[in-house]
Structure 1
Amino acid sequence: MSSLPDSVSATLYVVATPIGNLADLTERARQVLSAVNLIACEDTRHTQRLLQHLGLRKPMLSVHDHNERDRIQQVMDHLDQGRDIALVSDAGTPLISDPGYPLVQALRQAGHKVVPIPGASAMITALSAAGLPTDRFTFEGFLPHKSSGRKERLRAIVQDTCTLVFYEAKHRILNTLEDMSDVLGDQREAVVARELTKTFESFYRGTLMEIHAQLSSHDDHQKGEFVVMVTGNPAPAPASEIDTERLFKLLLAELPPKKAAAIIAELTGENKKELYQKALGWKDA
């Protein structure tokens, strides 16, 4: 990649692509996509449209949720042969609720150079215009598809005081808002962003109950891709009133024992090492 003065041979570039408006592609991303030998992408058909827009023709390799681990050695072989690769997802920044984590982790562990090429991210784009607190926020990505799983995850974060950020698909948005109302409270303030950077970009603000009504009022309001942002709990229950053992077990379903123990220790003041041993005992049982 001699056309890029700061480039290094045999590098994986993690390239953010537009989430809608193609004009949002950065100049650096355009340079990298022009210069690499191969593009690893989530959907070759989708990426082909971006390349056509840029007037580029590049070999592509599909890397998605169902084949990513099988592609790792293939990507390593290309890098070992001196071929620079750009990793892209269908939209936004790879690895952020998109494929790429096992690949990047394996390449880092093997000593390959991985370079981020920053750009669009639906989460940051939505937060920047939502008017909600952004000094602290938690990104939860996509909630489980089934209502029972969604509610279980929401119960685990109901006490969080920071802004909560989720992605959601059109066919689940109303059901997800209903579950959020049930667990977080229908008067919890929220903002929902739809079709960011696209022609029908929309923001809906109000309580969870009010936003559900807004989206229910017309089928068109339920089309597209959604970012759901919910304000943190304004009056969290004291730790003494929380069922910490149940919370601990919920956290263990999502996090490594050490991290779950650290969170419970922070909430309760209990000894972190003792909590960690308790977690290991539960797992063994």
Structure 2
Amino acid sequence: MAALPASLLRAVLADPGHLPEHLARFALRHMGPAADRSVTRLRERYPDAGPAELRALVVARGRRNTVAEGAFVGGPFLLLIPVAFCAALLNEARTVLELAGLDGRDPTSPERAAELLVLMGVYPDADGARTALDAFDADTAEDTGSRLRPRPGAVWGVTLRMARLLGLLTPSDARDAGAGRARRLATTTAKVLLLAAVIAVGTVAPLVWLPYMALSYHWATGRLTDRAALYYFREPAPRRPAGTAPGLTASSGRAVVSLLVPAVLTAVVLVLGWRVEHARWPVVTMALVLSSAGTGLWWWLRRRDRRRRAADEP
């Protein structure tokens, strides 16, 4: 799984105009078989569980995995946000495919790719999604050269489009979706500015974006699973008991540490009066940069080691 987000990112950077279609085909190819096996194991593990209970388990796990992979794959380094977004998109897609599997549909069928695009709001109906995917497949078959080369300057545009697909920059609920154009524009603009502010602060405190992303993924995945449950089962997704979003408490603690370490080192520099050529700001700047990078690197290495140990366990 670790290499999949980067692989998807390379594909969409080479062909940013077909981001949704790349996602749908990639997810079907890589997530479909895994979703099929997951549904089979879930039914074997909980033979007495009813349909609603199984859906609740899939939804809860989907939210948890999207938060974990999306918010933490990028880790503390904001340059990896596009990779984190790809990870979150793939986990959301897998959750949708698992819900389809619970409805008795084949998670590996090409029809699921069209349904995924509809549920993510890319196309209004499955017929339009199928037509777009057929055209994408034909275009891809004819063009074997230029799509392999990432296009300069595509990263920011692709990142914003992925954020919209994830539901991070779209209306939060049905009331906003039914509101006037001015209100929807204001809501989207506010979310873009908030995301930009989090990224800006994250350049100083590299873990500060994790609580924001964890909560945003939690809400966005919930909205997607609600749409998927209505589409496949004609009823909303089962709700978890009220409580903290998965991963939010841990990520909030890391964010606080991420803020405290640079603040403490800056205070030490100011109290001790360290200077470079009679100026304090170079020392303060170095303290901020080194402490932030060191904190982020330590956290990232620690998480990587835990993941490797978990993968090695029988």
TM-score (norm 1): 0.27
Higher normalized helix content (fraction of residues): 2
Higher relative contact order (CA 8 A, sep 6+): 2
